[in-house]
Structure 1
Amino acid sequence: MMVVSTNNAVVLHNFPYSHHRVDNSNLVGVRRLISLKRSVRVNPRCQVSLDRNDDVASQSLLKSSSVSALQALKSSSGDRYTKERSSVMVIGISFRTAPVDIREKLSIPEAQLPQAISELCALNHIEEAAVLSTCNRMEIYVVALSQHRGVKDVTEWMSKISGVSVSEISQHQFLLHNKDATKHLFEVSAGLDSLVLGEGQILSQVKHVVKVAQGVPGFDRKISGLFKHAITVGKRVRTETKISSGSVSVSSAAVELAQMKLPESSYDSVRVLVVGAGKMGTLVIKHLVAKGCTKMLVVNRTEDKVNAIRDECKDVEIIYQPFSKLLSCASESDVIFTCTASETPLFLKEQVETFPTSQIQRMFIDISVPRNVESHVSDLETARVYNVDDLKEVVEANKEDRLRKASEAQLIISEEVHEFEAWKDSLETVPTLKKLRAYAERIRASEFDKCIEKMGNLTKKQKMALHGLSKGIVNKLLEGPMQHLRSDENEGRSLDEILENMHTLNRIFGLDTEISILEEKIRSKMEKAKN
């Protein structure tokens, strides 16, 4: 079962199948329920574990070189799952389900995203994939041949790339599938699932996934369509509700946190250092300027980006220093914002304890994942360390207005989820179209060969004429059924009618053999692995 809390009411949904009764013998249990603590909507957040029988069946599919993957598929006890439709799923962790020390281990650098998609799609039960990795979340979106085994494959892959055990990942991960997965990504893109409700940066990050993944094998029709639609939803929500107006980004929250923690008497004299001048660092600088900061140090690998910021903030003294001067700059600063992509800490406890005493207790605000400031720095009496998880304190102000806008956004998202799901469902007719034509072609080719054999010596022209005749008859016969499987606004057919036509044709011609579809997909994977 999946527990979904909506408007403070608890509803039970079948899990892991959204449309089928759950066999409880194959589900160990739901271990974790994560509440969004938001009156607008609470997403289902849960983790599943597979029973030992599934593990054995999965291993039997892969282990023996003498038994092919196709034979193992046919002989395994997985008849139940071979009848499943492919599912769109999201498996991941976020600031709601996992602390920063877990998230930073699972984060994937931008340059490795194409490789991650390729590796995920090489897994036995995964057809398509995309990865959304930010400071607050690492979410993997997939089209899976089997929900059970897709979760298992992806979780084991997450463990492999991060060094975090499967059991530990399982304690913090959440799983959503089909309509719930669609709705979740739309909420993420709209800023409804962000630490700062309505923040705008996440939409840029969703766009970046599409930009980086475009053309990568595995970022295919369903997943790319999902992400592109999510971008449309994010734009529409922001335009129609103005939910992103005001200070609603992680960067702005970091600056607000610093202002909240500083004594008011020190506002004019505090010495500020920003480490990193990328997207996050640039935003921090702009928010500092908006709060009245007129002088700051910026440490970055190159000066080009700093010069670009200077051009925008002409009335502010921005002093550039290279990374070689990082520790000396930090020792002379009171408030230090760190926002780099470094995979190792930039500030260690033994380094910071050598810094001279600051005019206030030195403050590190680390909005990087992985963290730039070692956690042990907070043990020092001379330093305070805040990371992305501490920004929750900032978002309490003006919540009522943002929640009202979020409620309006949910109406938009419901409309868009319905539209996307209708589009996704319409894709179901494509395999039937292909199978019906292949079925007819097999019969035509067989009967044509028999006819040619019986008629003896025929000229090439005569054979071509007969071939054309057989093709023409098949095409004429298929014209009606094919037309009723296609979505045509001029014909006025509803999606339900098209899907009913698909199921009818599957029954009449015996096309609904899901095992053959899985065979084709696994054979394709095996052939790709050989090449």
Structure 2
Amino acid sequence: MMVGGLANSITMISLSSSCVSYVPCKLGIDLKPVFGIRRGLVRVNPRSEIVSDRNDDVQQSSVLKTASVSALEALKVSAGDRYTKERSSVMVIGLSFHTAPVDIREKLSIPEAQLPQAISELCALNHIEEAAVLSTCNRMEIYVVALSQHRGVKEVTEWMSKVSGVSVSEISQHQFLLHNKDATKHLFEVSAGLDSLVLGEGQILAQVKHVVKISQGVPGFDRKIGGLFKHAITVGKRVRTETKISSGSVSVSSAAVELAQMKIPESSYDSVKVLVVGAGKMGKLVIKHLVAKGCTKMVVVNRTEEKVSAVREECKNVEIIYQPFSNLMSCASEADVIFTCTASETPLFLQEQVSTFPLLTSQNGNQTQRMFVDISVPRNVESSVSDLEATSVYNVDDLKEVVEANKEDRLRKAAEAQLIISEEVQEFEAWKDSLETVPTLKKLRAYAERIRSSEFEKCMAKMGDLTKKQKAAIYGLSTGIANKLLEGPMLHLRCDENEGRSLDEIVENMHALNRIFGLETEMSILEEKIRSKMEKAKN
């Protein structure tokens, strides 16, 4: 039950025992069988020692009133207690090539230009405070700081459904969910290339860096999520430096080139006409790997010639022919192997278009298939193109047979990488825990201020007429005493390397102060944030 809807929900408490089952036993009230109305009889807990006579209307009315008030107070305490003790959680909610096929992932994919808007929309949800989106060809993962785990997951999943058109039930079938330390570990593994289709691939680290670059300064990409992604970049670099996991491994682009080579006649690029569609990061890598595999001539279709010229400068002694997008279909109709790697949100090749392409024949006169290797998400080649007899289509999910090569060596390096990741997870979690002292600092100062203010007002009432100077002196005395008393506790809650306190000690001090001053029973900062968000949503 939402705290913000407390006033509107009290009528339910009188009629349904399920509504009060959330109340903890420590309140001294067992509410399981308490409030139910049946034929005029009010059933109450024996501890309350309330006896109702169905013929005594006055007594029954009094009991109902008392019961309702008790239920309201119990629910208020329960709800406040739950929100106060429920720390905000770092979560990742997503789908990857491990859990979802490409036809689902492409629907959920978020274009780079829309990432800031996605962060803003996610942070506008009632229980989401911070957010970041990692959307690549192999994954679509949303990292959030949630004020409530259960409600946060529900809101994010519904948002994913809204922006993608995929039903909540279908998303849930392919979705994975990790909290706190597990979410941290997952992102570190992703950044290190341990969760990639190609173990140790380097491109994912660049994509994590890009998330930080695009999200920097966007409201909602704040301290915890921003800190998590920046630390993930450090982990990715450290793993690659200390384990050399990327050396000898293949990227998605090189795996695509190798896959095509396995499928073409004589396994050679010497006798086939190659077309590369797109000259961005992925396209550039495809071109370089084609050159490494012995391809000496290819056509590259791109929106502008600038990027193609830059690649041409790097690949000497290779004929790279630029063609504009307006010539895409004519170039494709003449090609044997077509690599597609653009950021287009809609397919570039439809079945009705490809079906008009001339049939291909080998040097000995036999008919051969035209091959599409589509490593884009969303896909650049319509799935029904594979139904054509003279065409074969491969996408990112078909690269697994290639990446099995040299897997044993990369697994050994991955084991080494896990040791590094464990160290880094501990370090990040300790830093994140240190941030939890901030609410305690605020609550402790507010607690002291309430006492100071109250005692100051009592003093003023007893002192009678005073001059402004005298009042200011007494006020200064009260604030001075409060500040001096707070100085020690505040000092022991702050992270200061010069003081020599460990993060574990600081967190322990935080819990001790919460217990000593009863701060956990105050209106929590989390609840205040939720209330504020819900009010904004109404306006």
TM-score by length of 2: 0.82
Q: CA deviation at 1:77?
A: 8.3
Displacement of 1:457 in angstroms is 4.0
Secondary structure of the structure 2 residue equivalent to 1:93: strand
Q: Distance in 1 between matches of 2:243 and 2:378?
A: 33
Larger Rg: 2
| 2:159 alignment partner, one of 157, 160, 182 | 157
Asked if 1 retains the 8 angstrom alpha-carbon contact of 2:80 and 2:527, the reply is no
Moved more, 358-367 or 318-327: 358-367
> 1:389 corresponds to which letter in structure 2?
D
Q: CA deviation digits over 1:358-390, x for unaligned, max 9? A: 244211000001101011111112111000000
Distance 1:311 1:453 in 2: 85
3-state SS of the aligned residue for 1:226? helix
Is 2:127 the partner of 1:125? yes
1:398 is the counterpart of 2:400: no
Q: How does 1:212-361 map to 2 (within 5 A)?
A: 212-264=214-266, 266-359=268-361, 360-361=368-369
CA contact (8 A) 1:298 1:320 kept: yes
Unpaired runs of 5+ in structure 2?
1-20, 23-71, 362-367
Q: What is the CA–CA distance in structure 2 between the aligned matches of 1:195 and 1:270, rounded to whole Å?
A: 28
Q: 3-state DSSP class of the match of 1:512?
A: helix
Instruction: Report if aligned partners of 1:271, 1:333 keep a CA contact under 8 Å in 2.
Output: yes
1:403 to partner: Cα distance: 0.5
Which of the residues 504, 507, 516 maps onto 2:512?
Answer: 504
Q: After superposing the two structures, state which structure 1 stretch, 94-103 or 343-352, moved more.
A: 343-352
Are residues 99 and 109 of structure 1, via their aligned partners in 2, closer, same or farther at CA, if it must alter by over 3 Å?
Answer: same
Give the deviation of 1:337 after TM superposition.
0.4
Q: Structure 1: give runs of 5+ residues left out of the alignment.
A: 1-24, 27-70
Give the superposition deviation at 1:80: 8.0
Question: 1:514: how far off?
Answer: 6.7
- Indicate if the aligned counterparts of 1:81 and 1:146 stay in contact, CA closer than 8 A: no
Of residues 469, 480, 494, the one that matches 2:477 is 469
Contact 2:269/2:293 (<8 A) preserved: no
Mapped contact 1:247–1:253 kept (Cα < 8 A): no
1:144 equivalent in alignment to 2:146: yes
Inter-partner Cα distance in structure 2 for 1:99 and 1:77: 43
Deviations 1:21-68 (A, max 9, x none): xxxx99xxxxxxxxxxxxxxxxxxxxxxxxxxxxxxxxxxxxxxxxxx
Would you say 1:386 and 2:394 are equivalent positions? yes
CA drift at 1:524: 3.0
Residue 342 of structure 1: SS of its match in structure 2?
A: coil
Aligned to 1:86: 88
Of 169, 184, 189, 1:167 maps to: 169
Q: 2 CA distance for matches of 1:362 and 1:408?
A: 42
- Whichever residue aligns with residue 132 of structure 1, its letter is L
- State the distance in 2 between where 1:133 and 1:201 align: 13
In structure 2, how many angstroms separate the alpha carbons of the residues matched to 1:265 and 1:427?
Answer: 57
Select between 178-187 and 375-384 the one with higher mean Cα deviation: 375-384
Q: Which moved more, 1:519-528 or 1:314-323?
A: 519-528
Counterpart contact for 1:159–1:169, Cα < 8 Å? yes
| Residue equivalent to 2:428 | 420
Distance 2:356 2:416 in 1: 52
Cα RMSD for the two superposed structures? 2.2
CA shift at 1:273, angstroms?
0.4
User: CA distance change for structure 1 residues 399 and 187 in 2, over 3 Å: closer, same or farther?
Assistant: same
- Return the letter of the residue paired with 1:337: F
Q: Which amino acid aligns with 2:171?
A: I
> Offset of 1:261 from its aligned partner?
1.2
| 8 Å Cα contact 2:370/2:390 also seen in 1 | yes
Shift of residue 126 of structure 1?
1.1
Q: Equivalents in 2 of 1:470, 1:147: separation in Å?
A: 41
| Partners of 2:89 and 2:147 within 8 A in 1 | yes
- Distance in 1 separating the partners of 2:241 and 2:509: 39
The CA distance in 2 between the partners of 1:392 and 1:252, in whole Å, is 12
Q: Deviation digits for residues 496-516 of structure 1, max 9, x if unmatched?
A: 332222122112211113753
| Equivalent residue in structure 2 for 1:375, among 383, 391, 394 | 383
Q: Give the distance between the partners of 1:306 and 1:241, measured in 2 at CA.
A: 34
- Contact persistence 1:132–1:138 (CA under 8 A): yes
| 1:452 match | 460
The one-letter amino acid paired with 2:392 is R
Please report how far the alpha carbon of residue 220 of structure 1 lies from its aligned counterpart in structure 2 after TM superposition: 1.2
SS state at 1:319 partner: strand
Structure 1 distance, partners of 2:267, 2:527, is 71
Which deviates more, 289-298 or 462-471?
462-471
The residue type equivalent to 2:519 in the other structure is: L
Please give the alpha-carbon distance, in whole angstroms, between the structure 2 residues aligned to 1:439 and 1:266: 76
Please say if residues 95 and 174 of structure 2, whose CA atoms lie closer than 8 Å, have aligned partners that are also in contact: yes
Residues 323 and 126 of structure 1: CA distance in aligned 2, closer, same or farther (over 3 Å): same
Distance 1:72-1:449 versus aligned 2 partners, 3 A rule: closer
Shift of 1:409: 0.2
- Counterpart residue identity of residue 259, structure 2: L
Residue 451 of structure 2 is matched in structure 1 by 443
| Whole-Å separation in 2 of the counterparts to 1:266 and 1:310 | 22
Check conservation: 2:81, 2:520, Cα contact below 8 A.
Answer: no
Amino acid at match of 1:372: N
The residue number in structure 2 matching 1:489 is: 497
> Aligned AA for 1:512?
E
Distance 2:161 2:213 in 1: 26
Greater displacement, 419-428 / 228-237: 419-428
- C-alpha displacement at 1:95, in angstroms? 0.3
Structure 1 stretch displaced more, 351-360 or 83-92: 351-360
Deviation by residue 1:275-315 (Cα, 9 ceiling, x = unmatched): 01111111111111121211111111111111111121232
Identity, in percent, stands at: 87
Higher percent of residues as helix: 2
| One-letter amino acid matched to 1:381 | E
